[in-house]
Amino acid sequence: MSLLDEIKEKVVRGHINKDSNYPPDLKGKSGVEELVEDALVQNLDVSEILHNGLISGMDVVGEKFSNGEYFVPEMLFSAKAMKSGLKILRPHLVDQNISTLGTVIIGTVEGDMHDIGKNLVSMMLEGGGFEVVDLGVNTPTEKFLSAAEEHPDAIVGMSALLTITMEKMRDVIEAFQSKGIENKIFIGGAPVTERYAEEIGADGYAPDASRAVRKAKELLSLA
């Protein structure tokens, strides 16, 4: 197995480093962190480490989630493992001016303090090769507008866990339209449906973190 394949496998298994207890059978064995370091020492191409190791691994994780083989806990472990490798790789990506697939602005709408789903989507997007601008929770309309004006080529993702707060998504979209801001917007969260997304004029809907990556690629015409 090549070093890149090992990185990919450890991302899929969610094994961060030798000290990680997850998964139990890999404790004490090299994880994503050590393998990415080894790849850099061996002067492997940084872009290949990113795309054929980290991102490729998260593609498999997304497929497993869609097929019902993985659930949220497994996805979280894999996403954390990927992020640990990305943290090591990021300075080298900057040095070599290696670009991401695009930028996604993401936030939980105003009045909603829930962030688990948003955080998982953020991690999956990063694992899919996107740069993520995370606005956090309880995000007012003005903050979405300001971020979109700062990143005109980005797509915007909004999350809500409560029926009473998801109406804020409509407010944000109407504010974008009134100001002529043309960033594409996609939405998600427990009470959100595709029908609701169409009703309020969103450009897309993602029912879970795996499909959020797919939808982001579609909106940027990368799928």
Average pLDDT, rounded, for the chain: 94
Query: How big is the chain by its Cα radius of gyration, in Å?
Result: 18
Q: What is the mean pLDDT of residues 200-204?
A: 97
Whether the domain at 3-95 and the domain at 103-219 fall into the same CATH topology: no
For the record, the structure tokens of 150 come out as 């700062």
pLDDT for 74 = 93
Instruction: Give the residue ranges of DSSP H helices in 96-193.
Output: 116-127, 141-150, 163-179
User: pTM for the full model?
Assistant: 0.81
Residue closest to 121 by CA, chosen among 200, 53, 65, 196: 65
pLDDT for 34 = 98
| CA distance linking residue 34 with residue 24, whole number of Å | 17
Give pLDDT tens digits for 65-74: 889 999 989 9
Q: What is the mean pLDDT of residues 18-23?
A: 97
CA 189, chain centre distance (Å)? 15
Residues in the chain: 223
Give pLDDT tens digits for 169-187: 999 999 999 999 999 999 9
Q: CA 40 → CA 88, 130, 184, distances in Å? A: 9, 21, 36
Instruction: Please check whether residue 135 is in contact with residue 172, taking contact to mean a CB–CB distance below 8 angstroms.
Output: no
Describe the strand order of the beta sheet including 155-159 as a list of residue ranges: 131-134, 103-108, 155-159, 185-188, 204-205
Percent of the chain with pLDDT over 90: 81
Strand-pairing partners, residue 188, are: 159
Q: Which of the two residues, 55 and 98, has the higher pLDDT score?
A: 55
Task: Sketch the domain layout of the chain as residue ranges.
Answer: 3-95, 103-219
pLDDT for 222 = 62
- Per DSSP, 29 falls in state S
pLDDT at position 151 over 80: yes
Non-local CB neighbours of 142 within 8 Å, separated by 6+ positions: none
pLDDT at position 221 over 90: no
The CATH number of domain 103-219, selected from 3.40.710.10, 3.40.50.280, 2.40.30.10, 3.40.50.1370: 3.40.50.280
Q: What is the mean pLDDT of residues 202-213?
A: 92
Amino acid identity, position 162: L
Residue 50: CA count within 13 A, CB half-sphere: 21
Question: β-strands 155-159, 131-134: how paired?
Answer: unpaired
pLDDT at position 118 over 80: yes
pLDDT for 162 = 94
Give pLDDT tens digits for 124-138: 898 888 999 999 999
Q: Class of 3-95 per CATH? A: mainly alpha
